[in-house]
Amino acid sequence: MTNSLRPNGDRKAPLPPAQSPAGGVPSPRSPQSPQKKQNGKQRDAFFDNAKYLAIVLVAMGHAWEPLKGDSRILEAAYQLVYAFHMPAFIIISGYFSRSFDMRPDRLKRLITGVAVPYIIFETAYPLFKRWIDDDPSQDISLLDPWYLTWFLVALFIWRLTTPIWNMVRWPLPLALGLAMLATVTPEIGDDLDLQRVLQFLPFFVLGLVMKPEHFQMVRTRSVRIAAVPVFAAALAFSWWAVPRMNTAWFYHRDAAQELGAPWWAGPVMVLAMFGCSLVLTACFFAWVPRRHMWFTALGAGTLYGYLLHGFLVKAGDYQGWFEASWFHQPAGQITVTVLAAAVVTALCTKPVQRMFKFAMEPKMAWAFKQDAAEVARERQSAERREREKEREKVNA
């Protein structure tokens, strides 16, 4: 996410779990709903739909950033979206990380699907700024996540610590305690964006402890109906809060003292915003379609949309595209919103995935030792697929 509230804002921003085959990135596979099969495994359309809709909200929020100062309504919508779109992503990430352990094949996927893309894009974004903004002094630093890349660092750390959260007796209260402590510790600094890692941690841990029935609870008619007035009330409250609340609280990247608030405001805001985000996320999940939609397949490519759309947003920022007066009028703001949704949709498609797979899902077999257990699992999987094909032929 971009940030107009601090001079170095172009170095920080949220977004996305994404591509299921990308090692280390949560895969929306579930036996709950036999929608589509990928690599012989069931995919639940609900989670793919949720990921796609969330990435659209992310792109819209980034497109609103340069325009929201001209409209209180747009600023209110911006705050509302930022209250739940990242928590929704992170909860899904945690939910599909429940079985993560230190098995070699899973660590390999975590490295190739999260760590390597982080290194590539953490290098590419500063180089892009050097070129398009004519800024040769722009530094490249793997320790200070730039713009969108913070999420990859956070996902890497969260998944590595998953066995610990699965082991402790009260994981969610512990995660909330760490988040509260982070908000009163400005000394943490910007290295690896640890403030965000810790302040968003409770949502990941919540996903770890959730079960399929918890998602079923919000996918009912009564919750869908209740979600409408809840969202309306949240938007009204956000409109009221625009001149009264620092939007940076929604970014979860600063201690309370850094936001000019007393130290005790940090823990209070962690609990208050955690509760508000959960309610809004539940309402969002309630309205996510459960059946296969035209955009369902795009949910498997949200990592691509997340990491690539930032180049277009930053290009517009550096080149002054958003400075046109028409874009600061209601019709222009609507046009920007529609364009952002269309662009990120295109970036999630299969042709784009094939083009950038080398950066998002590198195989890197040359970098790892051969694991006998993994070879055996792959052989068993191949044999199982062959048996399924034979059964299908017989049934046909």
Residues 6 or more apart whose CB falls under 8 angstroms from that of 345 comprise 52, 56, 295, 298, 305
Of 87, 151, 96, nearest to 282 by C-alpha is 87
pLDDT at 279: 96
Residues 6 or more apart whose CB falls under 8 angstroms from that of 166 comprise 98, 208
User: Whole-angstrom Cα distance, residue 12 to residue 31?
Assistant: 37
Q: pTM of the entire structure?
A: 0.83
> Within its chain, how far is the Cα of 286 from the centroid?
19
Helix, strand, or coil (residue 118)? helix
Per mean pLDDT, which range of 2-16, 73-87, 195-209, 311-325 is the poorest?
2-16
Question: Is the model's pLDDT at 2 over the cut of 80?
Answer: no
pLDDT at 14: 43
pLDDT at 36: 47
pLDDT at 374: 66
pLDDT at 322: 85
Helix, strand, or coil (residue 356)? helix
The Cβ of residue 277 has, within 10 Å, a number of other Cβ atoms equal to 24
Question: Is the model's pLDDT at 212 over the cut of 70?
Answer: yes
Question: Is the model's pLDDT at 385 over the cut of 60?
Answer: yes
Per mean pLDDT, which range of 69-73, 250-254, 297-301 is the poorest?
69-73
The mean of the pLDDT values for the chain is 86
- 3-state secondary structure string, 286-309? HHCCCCCCCCHHHHHHHHHHHHHH
pLDDT digits (tens, 9 = 90+) for 20-48: 433 434 443 443 344 445 444 567 899 99
Reported as a pLDDT band with limits 50, 70 and 90, residue 1 is: very low
pLDDT at 41: 57
Per mean pLDDT, which range of 51-60, 133-142, 203-212, 343-352 is the poorest?
133-142
Reported as a pLDDT band with limits 50, 70 and 90, residue 16 is: very low
Ordered DSSP codes for 160-207: HTHHHHHHSS-HHHHHHHHHHHHTT-GGG-SGGGHHHHHHSHHHHHHH
* Token code pair at residue 308: 């690539």
Per mean pLDDT, which range of 13-17, 114-118, 293-297, 312-316 is the poorest?
13-17
